[in-house]
Structure 1
Amino acid sequence: MSHKVTIVTDSTADIPEELIRKYGIHIVPLRVLFGEETYADGVDLTSEQFYEKLKKVSVLPTTSQPSPTDFMDVYQSLLDENPERPIVSIHLSSGMSGTYQSAMLGKSLLETEGDITVLDSKSASYGYGLMVVQAAELAEQGKSAVEIAAAIEGMQQSRKLFFLVDTLEYLQKGGRIGKASAILGTLLNIKPILSIDEEGVIYAVEKVRGHKKAMARIIELFQKDLTGKRVNLAVGHTADPGSAIACAEQLRGHFTLNEVIYTNIGAVIGSHVGPGVIAIFMWPVPE
């Protein structure tokens, strides 16, 4: 008898709540620290509350990854429920955070031997949230852990993402991008188009003057790979659904859209990119 695979991820996948519930995805939260106050991402602090709080503080928040014990506890409780059931655990890029390493350590601390596959998404936010949802859909269809891991690898190659930040101040302070780019970002309304490379590290694709030109350029970059294909689209926003809807409408004129998902960029990713970000994720509809 086959046992349906359980999917685990962490809170930086920024998966809409309705999809988490629909597929029974298990989320291990990262933490956001405002001075002495600590919040579990998505548990004690919604993205709306986070961006409100961000407006009022003088010192930028910091974040911390789950401990190996946090992962061990989640894996152990799932194995206690059903020792035969495989687990696929997909996490934030190891190029940006130690979360993946924590999950690996958590797995190694288990006393019971379980079938657990831990994957480094090499991405962030819904850039890998979309892979987690795909994994959950495949699990529903009764696919094995090996089949799910192979599908995720395929999606890593085929999905494309770009994001526009209002300011590079947050990425610079968090040490997530080179300082030179931050200086350029403050000059003359320069909008850097950012992406994530194959190693799972943020880089600047190019710098464009003004939001309008930046969006036009992003459309061109997507068209290189996805013209003529039916695509799924997800737009991530920092508690500003209006900007995400306007962005999707603009893209609708250039691509054959299948599914469109809007997602909040949560507190942990928000701490590193700041407010006013638009993140665009596109991937071909599986044949």
Structure 2
Amino acid sequence: MSRTFIVTDSTADIPKELVNELHIRIVPLTVMFGEEAFLDGIEMTPERFYPELVKSKELPTTSQPSPAEFTRTYESILAAHPDAQIISIHLSSGLSGTYQSAVIGRSMLDDEQPVTVYDSKSASYGYGYLVVHAARMAAAGRETADIIRSLDELGQRRQLYFLVDTLEYLQKGGRIGKAAATIGTLLNIKPILSIDQDGVIYPVEKARGHKKAMNRIIDMLEQAIKGQKVNVVLGHTADPSTVEGLTDMLRSRFNVADVLYTEIGAVIGTHVGPGTIAVFVWSVGDEGS
């Protein structure tokens, strides 16, 4: 039986202990403060990034890995394991060129090489969960086709929201105007964002104040989940205290099977800023199917 390897990129925001445990290969994106470039998650961790972001006068920029970087990763796996299969799962093509870069990197290999590139149509642990799931299926000896089918099904059970604490970074990134950001800040507006089925970020609605916004997210999840047992992942910007209250709220309203915490990395953090909370929820089904 051939062995299946899972490759992803650094925006999956997977906790390091899971990366190491499941032998997930990560190709990092790059974060740039001015002329200085840092590998996301390696040279620029969330703990380092958010203080730097707050101090910086200019918004940092981010760039995807080159196709050659993906090719090298695939070739290194195949050189060590000639009978290997590879599934390469990446940040939504609607948000970044990373997926396309992986596709081009795969095209530089021989056509018969068993490498499948998968568009997650999501961001952060919205697809990091899929990567971990795929790695567990691979470790159990499941074939590529089975894993891809399971990822498609799991993606349909995903609910996710980002609660943005400050409008400053959405404004700096050009997603909202300066006047709207100023008025929103004065009114203590907290935007709630999500990602649609095409993998594109869209504004769900706005709430005045953090508590009202969190309650609104809970209400929307309740409408979607309808009493099902769920797995929950809560993302934070290197400050776990920001999600403590949300954990209690979710446990009081839902049948929660498992809760995991993760840090929102520098690439996503560049666009949403410090204090952002991410809520990722999956109804529990047959995870091995």
Give TM class, smaller chain: over 0.9
Q: For residue 148 of structure 1, what is the amino acid of its counterpart?
A: I
Greater displacement, 154-163 / 181-190: 181-190
Deviation at 1:286? 2.2
Alpha carbons 2:3, 2:83 under 8 Å: kept? no
Q: For residue 239 of structure 2, what is the amino acid of its counterpart?
A: D
Give the SS at the match of 2:96.
Answer: coil
Query: 2:12 matched to 1:13?
Result: yes
Q: Deviations over 1:200-229 (max 9, x none)?
A: 111111111111111111111101121321
Task: Quote the Cα distance in structure 2 between the aligned partners of 1:172 and 1:83.
Answer: 48
Structure 1 residues 58 and 152 mapped into 2: Cα distance closer, same or farther (>3 Å)? same
Give the SS at the match of 1:74.
Answer: helix
Task: Quote the Cα distance in structure 1 between the aligned partners of 2:282 and 2:239.
Answer: 23
Q: Which residue in 2 is equivalent to 1:38?
A: 37
Deviation at 1:283? 0.2
Q: Which residue in 2 is equivalent to 1:238?
A: 237
Give the SS at the match of 2:83.
Answer: coil
1:113-124 → structure 2 map (5 Å cutoff): 113-124=112-123
Q: Which residue in 2 is equivalent to 1:191?
A: 190
Q: For residue 62 of structure 1, what is the amino acid of its counterpart?
A: T
1:36-75 → structure 2 map (5 Å cutoff): 36-75=35-74
Deviation at 1:172? 3.8
1:163-202 → structure 2 map (5 Å cutoff): 163-175=162-174, 177=175, 179=177, 182=181, 185-202=184-201
Query: 2:216 matched to 1:217?
Result: yes
Alpha carbons 1:227, 1:255 under 8 Å: kept? no
Alpha carbons 1:236, 1:262 under 8 Å: kept? yes
Task: Tell me how many residue pairs correspond in the alignment.
Answer: 285
Q: Which residue in 1 is equivalent to 2:263?
A: 264
Task: Quote the Cα distance in structure 1 between the aligned partners of 2:154 and 2:74.
Answer: 25
Structure 1 residues 181 and 121 mapped into 2: Cα distance closer, same or farther (>3 Å)? farther
Deviation at 1:113? 3.4
Task: Quote the Cα distance in structure 2 between the aligned partners of 1:193 and 1:45.
Answer: 26
Structure 1 residues 201 and 172 mapped into 2: Cα distance closer, same or farther (>3 Å)? farther
Task: Quote the Cα distance in structure 2 between the aligned partners of 1:182 and 1:91.
Answer: 31
Structure 1 residues 234 and 128 mapped into 2: Cα distance closer, same or farther (>3 Å)? same
- TM-score normalised by the chain length of structure 2: 0.94
Q: Deviations over 1:73-110 (max 9, x none)?
A: 00011111112111000000111100000000000012
Q: Which residue in 2 is equivalent to 1:93?
A: 92
Q: Deviations over 1:128-176 (max 9, x none)?
A: 000101111111111111111111111111110011101233234334x
Q: For residue 232 of structure 2, what is the amino acid of its counterpart?
A: L
Q: Deviations over 1:107-133 (max 9, x none)?
A: 001247310110111100001000101
Task: Quote the Cα distance in structure 1 between the aligned partners of 2:66 and 2:183.
Answer: 36
- TM-score normalised by the chain length of structure 1: 0.95
Task: Quote the Cα distance in structure 2 between the aligned partners of 1:125 and 1:18.
Answer: 16
Task: Quote the Cα distance in structure 1 between the aligned partners of 2:153 and 2:163.
Answer: 25
Alpha carbons 1:237, 1:278 under 8 Å: kept? yes
Alpha carbons 1:170, 1:272 under 8 Å: kept? yes
Deviation at 1:257? 0.9
Structure 1 residues 225 and 82 mapped into 2: Cα distance closer, same or farther (>3 Å)? same
Q: Which residue in 1 is equivalent to 2:109?
A: 110
Structure 1 residues 185 and 124 mapped into 2: Cα distance closer, same or farther (>3 Å)? farther
Deviation at 1:187? 4.5
Task: Quote the Cα distance in structure 1 between the aligned partners of 2:95 and 2:170.
Answer: 11
Deviation at 1:69? 0.4
Structure 1 residues 185 and 156 mapped into 2: Cα distance closer, same or farther (>3 Å)? farther
User: Where in structure 2 are there 5+ consecutive unaligned residues?
Assistant: none
After superposition, the CA RMSD in angstroms is: 1.5
Q: For residue 126 of structure 2, what is the amino acid of its counterpart?
A: G
Alpha carbons 1:167, 1:185 under 8 Å: kept? no
